[in-house]
Amino acid sequence: MAVDLLLGLQWGDEGKGKIVDVLTKNYDVIARFQGGPNAGHTLEFDGIKHVLHTIPSGIFHDNATNVVGNGVVIDPVVFKKELENLEPFNIDFRSKLLISRKAHLILPTHRLLDAASEAVKGKAKIGSTLKGIGPTYMDKTGRNGIRVGELELSTWKKTYRSLADKHEKMIAFYDVAIEYDLKSLEAEFFEAVEYIKQLEFIDSEEYLHQTQKSGKSILAEGAQGSLLDIDFGTYPFVTSSNTTAAGACTGLGVAPNKIGEVFGIFKAYTTRVGSGPFPTELFDQDGETMGRVGNEFGSTTGRSRRCGWLDLVALKYAVQVNGVTQLMMMKGDVLSGFEKLKVCTSYNYNGKVIEHLPYSILEENVTPMYKEFAGWKEDLTQLTAENELPENFMNYVLFLEKELEVPISIISVGPDRKQTIHR
């Protein structure tokens, strides 16, 4: 069977975790393909909210096996905490959670390097989650990284030592004071490594290949969003992996001709955490309302998310780059009560009107141009069917569907699993 793909179309936090959880009943395997503990995927059901960072969002379903793919970077310390948080829920990790031997490890010194790199940038910092993502992917592409499979070798601590020593020299090279106690960070790291060794390490590309061959279904779960992609995002204010559809091929070992549906998740407005350009960002009461009603605080770092109107120029770009076949619109409920809504339909780019995402969307180059929509007052959070949705809300949805030329198959009206309208 083909591998379906689910990914974020904006700057992350679109609601991917919720939708993976909603869709897991249709799949045998859920597989994360990139990113690491920079991700925070929220799932809500039975009155409990769960935030997952590295563990795929299918973990709460009995039917599904969850795979952490080769494209993911794993911090054993964060991973152990995640597993411990799930202890009360009696999940059989030994059989339900498999880890690729080719996934790279985030070392404590990767986190320190992330902090040093950000500190030295000062005002120009990326606003990284400080989870060590950039330095770990740098070591991967620099061919210095340590992979999960290395932990099965008796020599792994020696390999670790030589890389950590090199990192210490690099930290010293940065002209910033980073205080740390490597001994205690390492003690925590080694303990976490022993803990995660309880799980099964696999040759994940082979496992996924055999899964497909036997007719089972796979959903690939993306992290971050298309505008944070290392190639197609707002570079350098991006993450260090390919968050777009192609990343699922390299991050799982799935061939492009085996990809089926591509589910693109987007919010009815836009948010961004960290630095970088954001043409439709709001600094007024409307932005404040979106943040407050939408509870827009980072699931990983707790930072306030910047909020703004929906940017259709950027969304069209993400739909194209990913080959999205179905859209899922999240958080429309947050917009209830706005008198008027705006959608950015084109940019004034250095005096010229354009409808595509240009090389740079810095404020000095781009002024967003908007189309206005009448708002709706109704509370959407208790609605369960399309025909109950207010007319003005549906006008908004139908406009987006027409512009994006892709059907919106799910409308989410609240954080809970049940607050999901299938069309």
Nearer to Mg ion, 239 or 299 (CB): 299
Size of the site for ligand IMO (CB under 6 A): 24
Out of ligand GDP, ligand IMO, Mg ion, none, what residue 413 binds, judged by CB under 5 to 8 A for its kind, is ligand GDP
Q: Which of residues 44-83 bind ligand IMO (CB under 6 A)?
A: none
DSSP string, 166-182: HHHHHHHHSSS-----H
Cβ burial of 216 (10 Å; 0-12, 13-18, 19+) is middle
Given 24, 34, 38, 54, the residue binding ligand IMO (CB under 6 A): 38
Least distance in angstroms from the C-beta of 181 to ligand GDP: 31
Given 70, 128, 204, 226, the residue binding ligand IMO (CB under 6 A): 128
Given 334, 343, 404, 410, the residue binding ligand GDP (CB under 6 A): 334
Which among 88, 5, 9, 51 is positioned nearest to 313, based on CA atoms?
9
291 binds ligand IMO (CB under 6 A): no
Nearer to ligand IMO, 225 or 415 (CB): 225
Decide if 78 contacts 85 (C-beta within 8 A): no
133 binds ligand IMO (CB under 6 A): yes
DSSP string, 312-337: HHHHHHHHHHHT-SEEEEE-GGGGTT
Least distance in angstroms from the C-beta of 363 to ligand GDP: 26
Given 224, 242, 244, 420, the residue binding ligand IMO (CB under 6 A): 224
Angle made by CA atoms 151, 154, 156, in degrees to the nearest 5: 50
Return the H-helix or E-strand segment holding 109: helix 108-121
Q: Is the peptide bond before 236 cis (omega within 30 degrees of 0)?
A: yes
Task: Give the binding range for ligand GDP (CB under 6 A) out of 9-17, 68-76, 173-181, 242-250.
Answer: 9-17
User: Taking CB under 5 A as the rule, which mask of x and - marks residues 13-42 in contact with Mg ion?
Assistant: x--------------------------x--
Answer yes or no: 13 catalytic. yes
Given 29, 106, 171, 228, the residue binding ligand IMO (CB under 6 A): 228
Out of ligand IMO, ligand GDP, Mg ion, none, what residue 412 binds, judged by CB under 5 to 8 A for its kind, is ligand GDP
Nearer to ligand GDP, 193 or 321 (CB): 321
Out of ligand GDP, Mg ion, ligand IMO, none, what residue 229 binds, judged by CB under 5 to 8 A for its kind, is none
196 binds ligand IMO (CB under 6 A): no
64 binds ligand GDP (CB under 6 A): no
Supply 147's token pair: 């992979």
Out of ligand IMO, ligand GDP, Mg ion, none, what residue 366 binds, judged by CB under 5 to 8 A for its kind, is none
126 binds ligand IMO (CB under 6 A): yes
Say what angle helices 108-121 and 182-196 make with each other, to 10 degrees.
130
CA–CA gap between residue 412 and residue 408 (Å, rounded): 11
274 binds ligand IMO (CB under 6 A): yes
Which among 4, 5, 69 is positioned nearest to 33, based on CA atoms?
69
Which amino acid is residue 258, in one-letter code? K
Decide if 268 contacts 389 (C-beta within 8 A): no
Which amino acid is residue 164, in one-letter code? A
Which amino acid is residue 105, in one-letter code? L
From the candidates 4, 21, 28, 41, give the one annotated as an active-site residue.
41
Alpha helices, H only, 343-416:
391-404
Which amino acid is residue 84, in one-letter code? E
3-state class (DSSP) for residue 92: coil
Kindly list the residues in this chain that would bind ligand GDP in the complex (CB under 6 A): 8, 12-18, 40-42, 44, 294, 299, 330-331, 333-334, 412-415
Q: Which residues are catalytic?
A: 13, 41
Kindly list the residues in this chain that would bind Mg ion in the complex (CB under 5 A): 13, 40, 299
